């Protein structure tokens, strides 16, 4: 009996399309973050102790998103969280979350799975 497929056949070497809203983002374990005087300070522990360019601080929204990233979140989850708490539509919230995550990835503060 011949097998049939419900859709087009995918080559084993073709990458599976990934929805960026569903990629899990989680904090890099090689960093330390602390709340000091109402601000969140993040320092990668793999860099030199005197490297002040490796110290990051977040605004209040960035701090809240950072706390959510401790358990890992998708961009969609973060977007929904922002849209529910701030006076922005989902499209603007998604753009802001994507920019925030891109900046964190660029400096190595988050990883994706």
- For residue 82, being part of any structural domain is answered with yes
- For residue 4, being part of any structural domain is answered with no
Of 34, 92, 82, the residue nearest 62 (C-alpha): 82
- For residue 72, being part of any structural domain is answered with yes
Residues in a beta bridge with 56: 42
The DSSP line for 35-68 is EETTEEEEEETTS-TT-GGG-EE--HHHHHHHHH
pLDDT tens-digit profile, the chain (113 residues):
444 444 445 455 665 556 666 788 888 888 888 888 878 888 887 655 545 567 889 988 999 999 999 999 999 999 999 999 998 999 999 999 999 999 999 988 999 88
| Whole-structure pTM value | 0.73
Which pair of tokens denotes residue 46? 């793999």
- For residue 48, being part of any structural domain is answered with yes
Question: Which pLDDT score, from 0 to 100, does residue 36 have?
Answer: 84
Distance CA 96, CA 88 (A): 10
Q: Which domain holds residue 100?
A: 20-107
């Amino acid at each position: 009996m011949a097998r049939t497929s419900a859709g087009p056949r995918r080559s084993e070497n073709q990458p599976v399309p990934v929805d960026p809203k569903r990629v899990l983002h989680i904090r890099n374990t090689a960093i330390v973050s602390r709340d000091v005087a109402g601000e969140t300070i993040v320092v990668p522990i793999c860099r030199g102790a005197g490297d002040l360019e490796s110290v990051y601080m977040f605004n209040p929204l960035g701090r809240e998103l950072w706390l959510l990233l401790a358990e890992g979140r998708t961009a969609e989850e973060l977007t929904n969280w922002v849209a529910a708490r701030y006076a922005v539509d989902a499209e603007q919230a998604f753009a802001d979350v994507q920019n925030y995550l891109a900046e964190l990835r660029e400096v190595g503060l988050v990883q994706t799975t």
